[in-house]
Amino acid sequence: MEFWLDLNDEQRELREWVHGFAASVIRPAASEWDEREETPWPVLQEAAKIGLYGFEFLANTWSDGSGLSLPIANEELFWGDGGIGMAISGTSLAVAAIFGSGTSDQLLEWVPQCFGDAADPKVGAFCSTEPEAGSDVAAMRTRAVYHEATDEWVISGQKAYATNGGIANVHVVTASVDPSLGSRGQAAFVVPPGTKGLAGTRKLKKLGLRASHTADVFLDDVRVPGSCLLGGKEALDKRLARAREGQRRSGQAAMRTFELSRPAVGAQALGIARAAYEYALEYAKTRVQFGRPIIENQAVAFALADMRTEIDAARLLVWRAAWMGRNEKPFEAGEGSMSKLKAGEVAVAVTEKAVQILGGAGYLREHPVERMYRDAKIYTIFEGTSEIQRLVIARAVSGVQIR
Ligand SMILES: Cc1cc2nc3c(=O)[nH]c(=O)nc-3n(C[C@H](O)[C@H](O)[C@H](O)COP(=O)(O)OP(=O)(O)OC[C@H]3O[C@@H](n4cnc5c(N)ncnc54)[C@H](O)[C@@H]3O)c2cc1C
């Protein structure tokens, strides 16, 4: 069995292509959209025009049997800017939910509508978190009730922190269909464009990722056709019957869904970390104090050495988990969680060090490390906090139901 870490020609081309877009379109726009705290629609349009935003792009990255294409693309995108990166990537949360739970017909019907087209790009939203159900997904209160006579589901509840919530063309909403079963009694639904009763009420003001829209979403008797239940009614009924009989889904199967998406999120954090590191490295070579560039002091040079080492270590974990996911290797030690945990924490530590290396300049908006520092923090919070990642890893390696 051979082992190598070289990227192949296609992966290298992909990296250069996304990097080019990040450097020429995203970077120059980053500060403006951070200040405006708005979705950068013109940038999305540019990305859609060149084929970087859309179903085809995701399908192409999926066709890479090594699993590395998506983390490579994400790292470059977020190297450009975290907020704009999330404005471009936020839709993939909804797409991943449709891909993970939907039938192939549902995939074909809804995924293109999540993205729109190059002339008129749209976004998708995945609404799972609730005010009382963050890390504790089983505490979800949003209810979906089936009305057989009309073959409709009626959904009511409140969702919190939804990326693209209220501005999305397609919302994917999770709801409990049988609260007595906890998280096993939940299902995901597509809420089609223009459906009455769904409203993104409050746009949330954030520390970072400000070019990405985040909002609370209210669902007031939202009626969707039976066909909007992802996976279909028959599969849901079977799943609920198994849960009622007390058959446990294997821990590995339950964990797998989340583990699969985590390296892609870790790669986003990595992009922000690398951008801050590179900026600090250049600054340290040119900033002169005590008659010499500050990088000539070990305290500064060693900090940069640590930053680079941590970034490279995080990337290896991200690539390993992405490869494992694509090649259906079991995540026996929570390797997906490891990758997101490490990359998130590295991003926070590296961006903080970058601010420090720039001194007072690092604290100003004139330099991008201030924004990168704010953007990086989300990576220890969303898509499972660092504590939840540690919980997954600890349970996986110990076999103990640690709380
Ligand atoms: C910018 C942004 C975008 C987001 N986008 C989306 C989105 O698109 N869709 C979506 O559904 N959600 C989204 N979220 C929500 C996000 O996933 C949650 O905020 C996250 O899962 C944490 O939930 P919480 O905020 O309720 O924190 P809590 O669950 O209340 O956690 C608070 C603290 O307690 C700790 N904690 C909780 N339980 C345990 C435990 N058992 N052991 C140890 N520590 C514990 C946590 O780690 C954390 O430090 C987004 C959030 C933000 C800020």
The active-site residue, picked from 46, 345, 383, 387, is: 383
**pLDDT of res. 254:** 56
Best residue among 78, 161, 164 to mutate for probing ligand 1's pocket (most ligand atoms within 8 Å of CB) is: 161
Give the distance (Å) from ligand 1 centre to CA of residue 384: 6
Q: Any catalytic annotation for residue 259? A: no
What's the topology of domain 124-245?
Answer: Butyryl-CoA Dehydrogenase, subunit A; domain 2 (2.40.110)
Superfamily of structural domain 253-398: Butyryl-CoA Dehydrogenase, subunit A, domain 3 (1.20.140.10)
**pLDDT of res. 238:** 96
Q: Which atom of ligand 1 is nearest to the CA of 385?
A: 47
* Residues, the chain: 403
Token pair, residue 372, equals 């990168």
For 374-400, the DSSP string reads HHHGGGGTSSS-HHHHHHHHHHHHH-S
CA distance 57 to 14: 11
Q: Which atom of ligand 1 is nearest to the CA of 164?
A: 8
**pLDDT of res. 255:** 64
**pLDDT of res. 251:** 53
Ligand 1 within 6 A of 161 CB?
A: yes
Give the distance (Å) from ligand 1 centre to CA of residue 98: 22
**pLDDT of res. 85:** 98
Ligand 1 within 6 A of 132 CB?
A: no
- For residues 257-276, one letter each, b for 16 or more C-beta atoms within 10 angstroms of the residue's C-beta and e for the rest, the string is ebbbbbbbbbbbbbbbbbbb
**pLDDT of res. 246:** 83
Best residue among 171, 172, 381, 392 to mutate for probing ligand 1's pocket (most ligand atoms within 8 Å of CB) is: 381
What is the CATH code for 9-120?
1.10.540.10
**pLDDT of res. 394:** 97
Token pair, residue 390, equals 């540690």
CA distance 275 to 224: 43
The domains of the chain are located at: 9-120, 124-245, 253-398
Q: Which atom of ligand 1 is nearest to the CA of 90?
A: 8
**pLDDT of res. 172:** 97
CA distance 116 to 56: 12
Burial class (CB in 10 A: 0-12, 13-18, 19+), 141: middle
Please, which residues have CB within 8 angstroms of residue 105's CB and are 6 or more apart in sequence? none
**pLDDT of res. 256:** 67
Per-residue pLDDT of the chain (403 residues; tens, 9 = 90+): 688 899 999 999 999 999 999 999 999 999 999 999 999 999 999 999 999 999 999 889 989 999 999 999 999 999 999 999 999 999 999 999 999 899 999 999 999 999 999 999 999 999 999 999 999 999 999 999 999 999 999 999 999 999 999 999 999 999 999 999 998 999 999 999 999 999 998 789 999 999 999 999 999 999 999 999 999 999 999 999 999 998 766 555 556 667 889 999 999 999 999 999 999 999 999 999 999 999 999 999 999 999 999 999 999 999 999 999 999 999 999 999 999 999 999 999 999 999 999 999 999 999 999 999 999 999 999 999 999 999 999 999 999 999 9
CA distance 90 to 98: 14
Best residue among 382, 395, 401 to mutate for probing ligand 1's pocket (most ligand atoms within 8 Å of CB) is: 382
Q: Whose CA is nearest to atom 24 of ligand 1?
A: 134
Give the distance (Å) from ligand 1 centre to CA of residue 191: 23
- CA quadruple 46, 49, 53, 59: dihedral, nearest 10: -160
CA distance 172 to 109: 13
Rg of the Cα atoms in the chain: 22
Q: Are 56 and 111 in contact (CB under 8 A)?
A: no
**pLDDT of res. 49:** 97
